[in-house]
C-alpha cells in the first residue's frame, strides 16, 4: 500500500509538487493579466477601452465559470490527475499563441486559456485536500502553504512580464507567461506519481467519482470518515431542527422566490438591449447562464426544510456581497491597470518603471498583512470577540469603499491640471464626446485644452472620429475584404483626400513593416511623382493632384489589415493643424500624471478588505452547506467571482467615455450599497446561520 511520505515540515511531499505547479500556473495567469488590457488598447492592437473591457469581461468571467464544468468532467470521466495535465497543456498552448502578433490567434489563445483553466484550477486544489484525512489538523496549514505559492507566482509574474514588455515588447511578456506555464506543467508531469501516491495513502483517489465510490464501498463498517451514511445523518439532523423565527423566517421563505424571479429578469434586461440594437446577441450567453443557475438554486432552496434551509439561504444572501466586492476589486486588472499606464507618474529620477509592476502590489501586501490578520482574528477568538462572518463582510465593503474614494481623490487631482496648445482654425468637430468630455476648444483664446491626461488611445480615437465618413467607410470595407487577401490575390482601395502626410517615425515604419520610397511616375509628365510605403503585408501610395488641392491614396493588402496601419492612415489624412495640436496636447498632458501613492493607498485598502472577506467565504460554505450539496454550493459560491467579473467588465466599458473621477465613483456607490445590504441583513443572517459563526 502507498505511504504518505512526508518532509521535515510534516506534510506529504506531494504538497510541494502541487505548490510549485500552482505557483508557476499563477505566474502565467497574472503575468498575462498584467499585459492583457494595456496590450488591447495599444496602437498595435488598436482597441478602445470599451472594446478591451468587453473582451476582458468575457475572458475573466469565463475563467471563473469554466471550473464548474471542469470539475464535473474530472469527477465523472477524467479524474483529477488527467484533468490537471490536460488543463496545463491547454494553458501552455494558449500562452504561447499570445506570443504571436495576430488578432485571430489572440482570441484562439484566450479560448485555450479558458478551457485549460476549467480543467486545471478546481482539480489541483481538490488534490491538495485529498492528501489529508477528514479532521487532519495539517489540512488548513497545507492550504496556507498552497496559497502562498499563488501569491509568490503572482508577485514574480507582475515584475518579470511587464519588464519584458517595456524592454522588448508585449509578445515577449506573453511568451514569458507561457514559459512559466510550461515549467508548471513539467513540475506536475514529473511529480504526478508522488502526488497520486500521497492521495491514495489516506484512502482517497485521484481518479473519477466511480473509482471513489468503489473505495468507499470497501471501507470498514466502523470507519465513517467517508461514508455517505454519516453525511446523511448530519444532514437529516439539520433538517429536523426548528427554523429561525421572525424576520429571518421571512427572509428564508421569500429569498428563494426572489432568486427565481431574478433569473428571468436578468435575461429580459439583456434581451431588450439586443432588441434595441444596443448589444449583440452573443452577449446573451452569460446572462442566460447566470439566470438559469439562479432559477435552479431558487427551486432547490424551496425543497429544503428547517435549519438546513436557513443555512442554505444564508449562503445565497451572502452571495451578493462578494459580487459587489470583487467587481470593484478586479478593476486592478482593467481600469486601475490603465490608470497606472497613462495617469501615474512612474519616474524614479530619469528612469520610468513599468506600469505593470503595480499588479504586484496586492500579492506583496498579502505577504505582509495576512500573518497580521491571522494573529488578530486568533486573539479576538480567544477573547470571544471575533466578528461573525457577516460583520467581516461589512468591514470588507467599508474598506473597498475607502479604496475607491482614494481613487476618486486621485482622479480629482489629475483632472485639476489643465494643458493647452494653440489651434487657430479648429475644424467643425463635435468635441463633447472626445476624451471623456475633458477635451475642449476655447475659441476666444484659440486654444485646445485638456483636463487631466490624454492617453494615446484617446488621441487615436479623436483622430478617427474626426476622419471623413467616406474614408472611414472605404477603410472598413477594405479591412473586411483584407481578411481573405493573399499575396497571390491582394485587395486594394483608394480615396481622394485634401491632404496626406504619412508618418516619418522610424520605429513606427518598422512596426508596420514598410519602407518608404518613390513609386512610378504618372504618364502625364506634368504630374508630381507618387510616394510609396511598401511592405510584405501592406503597401500605401499617395499621388498629389496636378493642382495641389487633393491627394489620391492607394492601399493594397496581402493579409488582414492591422489596427496600427489603419490608425496611421487616419492620422495621415487628418487636417495637419488638428493632428499636430492633438499630438502636442497628448505630450503636454503628461504633466497631469499624479503620484503612485494614490494607487498604493487604493490597493492597500482593497487588500485589507480582501483579507476580511476572502478567507471566510469558502470556510463559511463548508460549514453551512448541506453535505449532499456541498460541492454544488461551493461551485455556485465561486460563481460569484464570474458574475462580478462580468458586471465589473461591463462597467469597465465606460472607461475613457466618462471622466475617471466619475468612473471610480461608481464603485464607491456599489460598495456603499453593499455596506447597507450587509447592515440590513446582519441580524437575520446570524439567526439563519444558527450555531455557525
Residues 556 and 484 both lie in one domain: yes
CATH of the domain at 68: 1.20.1250.20
Is 630 inside a domain boundary? Answer: no
The domain of 16 spans: 1-217
CB atoms within 10 A of CB 322: 23
For 384, counting Cβ atoms within 10 Å of its Cβ (0-12 exposed, 13-18 middle, 19+ buried), the class is exposed
Q: How many domains does the chain have?
A: 3
Residues 40 and 172 both lie in one domain: yes
Is 451 inside a domain boundary? Answer: no
Is 231 inside a domain boundary? Answer: no
Residues 268 and 155 both lie in one domain: no
Is 129 inside a domain boundary? Answer: yes
Phi then psi dihedrals of residue 522, to 5 deg: -60, 160
Q: Tell me, what DSSP letter sits at residue 206? A: S
pLDDT value at position 549?
84
CB 178, CB 14: distance < 8 Å: no
Residues 146 and 255 both lie in one domain: no
- Residue at which a domain ends, from 285, 304, 323: 304
pLDDT value at position 450?
96
SS3 label, residue 421: strand
Is 67 inside a domain boundary? Answer: yes
Among the listed residues 174, 179, 181, 158, the one whose alpha carbon sits nearest the alpha carbon of residue 45: 174
Q: Which helix (H) or strand (E) holds 210?
A: helix 209-217
Residues 102 and 25 both lie in one domain: yes
Is 270 inside a domain boundary? Answer: yes
Q: With DSSP H G I counted as helix, E B as strand and the rest as coil, what are the percentages for the chain, rounded to 5?
A: 70, 10, 25
For 682, counting Cβ atoms within 10 Å of its Cβ (0-12 exposed, 13-18 middle, 19+ buried), the class is middle
For the chain (693 residues), the mean pLDDT of every run of 10, in chain order, is 58 91 93 95 94 94 86 81 92 93 90 92 83 77 82 94 94 94 94 90 72 52 39 52 84 91 89 82 83 89 88 88 93 96 95 95 92 85 85 94 98 96 84 90 92 96 93 95 93 94 91 81 57 92 85 94 94 93 96 97 96 77 75 75 92 95 97 94 88 74
Q: Tell me, what DSSP letter sits at residue 435? A: G
Is 56 inside a domain boundary? Answer: yes
Residues 179 and 283 both lie in one domain: no
**pTM (predicted TM-score):** 0.89
Residues 79 and 150 both lie in one domain: yes
Cell numbers representing residue 417 in the block: 491640471
Rounded to whole angstroms, how far apart are CA atoms 413 and 410? Answer: 5
- Residue at which a domain ends, from 304, 325, 346: 304
Among the listed residues 325, 413, 426, 405, the one whose alpha carbon sits nearest the alpha carbon of residue 591: 413
Residues 182 and 285 both lie in one domain: no
Cell numbers representing residue 551 in the block: 491627394
Residues 180 and 299 both lie in one domain: no
Residues 139 and 285 both lie in one domain: no
- Residue at which a domain ends, from 287, 304, 321: 304
CB atoms within 10 A of CB 167: 10
Is 206 inside a domain boundary? Answer: yes
Residues 65 and 148 both lie in one domain: yes
Rounded to whole angstroms, how far apart are CA atoms 351 and 601? Answer: 23
Residues 213 and 248 both lie in one domain: no
Amino acid at each position: 500500500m502507498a505511504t504518505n511520505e512526508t518532509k521535515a515540515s510534516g506534510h506529504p511531499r506531494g504538497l510541494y509538487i502541487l505548490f510549485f505547479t500552482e505557483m508557476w500556473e499563477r505566474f502565467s495567469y497574472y503575468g498575462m493579466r498584467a499585459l492583457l488590457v494595456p496590450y488591447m488598447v495599444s496602437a498595435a492592437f488598436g482597441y478602445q477601452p470599451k472594446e478591451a473591457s468587453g473582451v476582458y469581461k468575457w475572458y475573466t468571467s469565463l475563467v471563473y465559470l469554466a471550473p464548474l464544468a471542469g470539475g464535473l468532467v474530472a469527477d465523472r470521466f477524467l479524474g483529477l490527475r488527467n484533468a490537471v495535465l490536460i488543463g496545463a497543456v491547454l494553458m501552455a498552448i494558449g500562452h504561447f499563441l499570445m506570443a504571436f502578433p495576430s488578432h485571430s490567434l489572440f482570441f484562439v489563445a484566450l479560448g485555450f486559456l479558458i478551457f485549460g483553466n476549467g480543467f486545471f484550477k478546481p482539480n489541483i486544489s481538490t488534490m491538495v485536500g485529498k492528501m489529508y484525512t477528514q479532521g487532519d489538523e495539517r489540512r488548513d496549514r497545507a492550504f496556507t502553504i498552497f496559497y502562498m505559492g499563488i501569491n509568490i507566482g503572482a508577485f514574480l509574474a507582475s515584475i518579470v512580464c511587464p519588464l519584458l514588455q517595456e524592454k522588448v515588447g508585449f509578445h515577449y511578456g506573453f511568451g514569458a507567461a507561457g514559459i512559466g506555464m510550461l515549467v508548471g506543467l513539467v513540475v506536475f508531469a514529473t511529480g504526478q506519481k508522488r502526488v497520486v501516491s500521497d492521495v491514495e495513502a489516506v484512502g482517497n483517489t485521484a481518479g473519477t467519482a466511480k473509482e471513489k465510490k468503489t473505495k468507499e464501498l470497501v471501507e470498514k463498517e466502523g470507519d465513517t470518515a467517508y461514508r455517505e451514511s454519516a453525511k446523511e445523518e448530519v444532514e437529516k439532523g439539520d433538517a429536523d431542527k426548528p427554523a429561525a423565527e421572525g424576520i429571518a423566517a421571512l427572509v428564508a421563505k421569500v429569498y428563494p422566490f426572489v432568486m427565481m424571479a431574478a433569473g428571468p429578469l436578468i435575461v429580459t434586461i439583456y434581451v431588450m438591449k439586443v432588441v434595441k440594437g444596443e448589444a449583440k446577441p452573443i452577449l446573451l450567453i452569460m446572462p442566460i447562464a447566470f439566470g438559469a443557475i439562479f432559477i435552479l438554486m431558487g427551486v432547490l432552496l424551496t425543497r429544503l426544510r428547517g435549519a438546513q434551509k436557513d443555512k442554505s439561504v444564508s449562503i445565497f444572501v451572502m452571495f451578493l456581497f462578494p459580487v459587489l466586492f470583487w467587481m470593484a476589486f478586479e478593476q486592478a486588472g482593467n481600469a486601475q491597470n490603465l490608470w497606472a499606464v497613462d495617469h501615474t507618474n512612474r519616474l524614479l529620477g530619469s528612469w520610468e518603471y513599468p506600469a505593470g509592476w503595480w499588479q504586484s502590489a496586492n500579492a506583496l501586501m498579502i505577504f505582509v498583512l495576512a500573518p497580521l490578520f491571522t494573529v488578530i482574528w486568533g486573539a479576538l477568538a480567544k477573547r470571544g470577540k471575533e466578528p461573525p462572518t457577516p460583520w467581516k463582510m461589512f468591514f470588507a465593503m467599508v474598506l473597498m469603499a475607502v479604496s475607491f474614494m482614494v481613487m476618486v481623490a486621485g482622479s480629482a487631482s489629475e483632472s485639476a491640471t489643465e494643458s493647452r496648445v494653440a489651434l487657430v482654425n479648429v475644424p467643425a468637430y463635435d468635441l463633447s464626446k472626445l476624451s471623456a468630455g475633458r477635451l475642449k476648444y476655447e475659441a476666444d483664446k484659440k486654444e485646445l485644452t485638456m483636463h487631466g491626461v490624454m492617453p494615446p488611445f484617446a488621441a487615436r480615437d479623436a483622430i478617427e472620429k474626426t476622419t471623413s465618413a467616406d474614408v472611414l467607410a472605404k477603410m472598413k470595407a477594405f479591412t473586411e475584404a483584407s481578411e481573405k487577401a493573399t499575396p497571390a490575390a491582394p485587395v486594394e482601395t483608394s480615396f481622394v483626400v485634401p491632404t496626406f502626410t504619412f508618418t516619418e517615425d522610424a520605429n513606427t515604419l518598422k512596426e508596420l513593416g514598410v519602407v518608404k520610397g518613390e513609386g512610378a511616375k504618372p504618364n502625364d509628365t506634368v504630374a508630381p511623382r507618387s510616394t510609396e510605403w511598401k511592405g510584405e503585408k501592406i503597401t500605401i501610395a499617395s499621388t498629389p493632384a496636378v493642382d495641389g488641392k487633393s491627394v489620391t491614396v492607394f492601399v493594397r493588402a496581402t493579409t488582414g489589415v492591422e489596427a496600427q496601419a489603419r490608425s496611421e492612415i487616419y492620422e495621415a489624412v487628418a487636417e495637419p493643424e488638428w493632428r499636430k495640436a492633438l499630438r502636442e496636447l497628448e505630450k503636454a498632458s503628461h504633466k497631469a500624471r499624479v503620484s503612485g501613492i494614490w494607487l498604493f493607498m487604493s490597493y492597500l485598502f482593497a487588500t485589507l478588505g480582501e483579507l476580511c472577506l476572502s478567507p471566510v467565504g469558502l470556510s463559511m460554505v463548508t460549514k453551512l452547506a448541506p453535505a449532499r450539496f456541498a460541492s454544488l454550493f461551493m461551485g455556485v459560491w465561486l460563481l460569484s467571482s464570474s458574475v462580478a467579473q462580468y458586471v465589473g467588465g461591463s462597467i469597465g466599458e465606460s472607461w475613457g467615455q466618462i471622466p475617471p473621477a466619475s468612473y471610480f465613483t461608481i464603485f464607491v456607490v456599489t460598495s456603499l450599497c453593499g455596506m447597507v445590504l450587509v447592515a440590513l441583513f446582519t441580524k437575520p443572517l446570524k439567526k439563519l446561520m444558527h450555531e455557525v459563526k
